Amino acid sequence: MTFDISVASVDDVQRMARWAADEGWNPGKTDAHAFFAADPGGFLIGRLNGEPVACISVVKYGAGFGFLGFYIARPAVRGKGYGIEVWRAGMARLAGRNVGLDGVVAQQVNYRKSGFRLAWNNVRYEGAAQDAKPPAGVRLVDARSIAFDKLAAYDRRFFPEARDAFLASWISLPERTAMVAVRDGSLAGFAVMRACQAGARVGPLYAETPDIASALFAATGRQLGAAAVAVDVAGVNSAAAAWAERLGLKPSFETARMYTGADPEIDAGGLFGVASFELG
């Protein structure tokens, strides 16, 4: 038998998204397009006798950060060492960088053995998008109407490195809506909601206050026509879980945010929902 690891094709990245759906991760219907745009060389696929059986994403951001996701071995080959081979190839691609991941909590011990340390936990909350109005002095507008450099700079406050290629694709793909909150000409919040395999998910979700987060959550849900909505609440923001519970959302899934290096410096108090467990 021959096992080969190579950079994934566009079709392979679509396949990886389907595998993620099989695992119950509920990716967005068009997420794979933005994933590929983020770092076309950052997706690896392992083939056993030519048949795809394992994968990983190891996306580079800037000069010093990387994010690992899509670590999947298909059920038929688990326990046979193919997954760890793909893992090693992925980690080699990110050598010398601070690497982050959102992994299932049960695998924390294994991730620690590979040099990761726990930073915080993220919790997926699900429920209906309740109606909420923006606070006085705040208006909500389509994020695609905002000068992109301004939007990208705002996103950078909440993410360890610039990710312009990903962000440009993330806000413009079909079956999603993107909105910002504006106060006195400055951005005070940002949200993207997209249709998923089941229901919809919002992420990222940034806001100066919980009230602004609620208004963005409601407005994007309304625009997308989503009845059931999920948000992956960032545990680094102590106010975010309480905000989700006040909206009547219920926890359904949890991941461990881990890094190989120090926790990146971000505006933790404004981070209510992460963009993606796969790419950070």
SS (HEC) of the chain: CCEEEEECCHHHHHHHHHHHHHCCCCCECCHHHHHHHHCCCCEEEEEECCEEEEEEEEEEECCCEEEEEEEEECHHHCCCCHHHHHHHHHHHHCCCCEEEEEEEHHHHHHHHHCCCEEEEEEEEEEECCCCCCCCCCEEEEEHHHCCHHHHHHHHHCCCCCCCHHHHHHHHHCCCEEEEEEEECCEEEEEEEEEEECCCEEEEEEEECCHHHHHHHHHHHHHHHCCCCEEEEEECCCCCHHHHHHHCCCEEEEEEEEEECCCCCCCCHHHEEECCCCCCC
For residue 131, the Cα-to-chain-centroid distance in whole angstroms is 25
Write the pLDDT tens digit of every residue in 114-173: 999 999 999 999 998 778 889 999 999 999 999 999 999 999 999 999 999 999 999 999
Side-chain-side CA neighbours of residue 243 (13 Å): 31
Over residues 162-189, the mean pLDDT reads 97
State residue 105's pLDDT score.
86
Whether 26 shows a pLDDT value over 90: the answer reads no
- Is pLDDT at 273 greater than 90 in this prediction? yes
Query: What is the predicted pLDDT for the residue at 45?
Result: 98
% of residues, the chain, pLDDT over 90? 89
Q: Which of 233, 203, 245 is nearest to 221 (CA)?
A: 203
Q: What angle do CA 83, 86, 92 make, to 5 degrees?
A: 140
Question: What's the mean pLDDT when you consider all of the chain?
Answer: 95
Mean pLDDT of 221-226: 87
247-272 per-position pLDDT tens digit: 999 999 899 999 999 999 999 999 99
- Residue 141: predicted pLDDT: 98
Residue position matching structure tokens 């000409």: 185
Task: Give yes or no for residue 4 having a pLDDT over 90.
Answer: yes
Instruction: Tell whether pTM > 0.75.
Output: yes
Strand 43-48 to 138-142 pairing: unpaired
Mean pLDDT within 54-72: 97
Does residue 52 have a pLDDT over 90?
A: yes
Residue 1 confidence (pLDDT): 83
* Structural domains of the chain ordered from first start: 3-100 (3.40.630.30), 124-273 (3.40.630.90)
Average pLDDT over residues 78-96: 96
Strand pairing report for 65-73 and 98-104: parallel
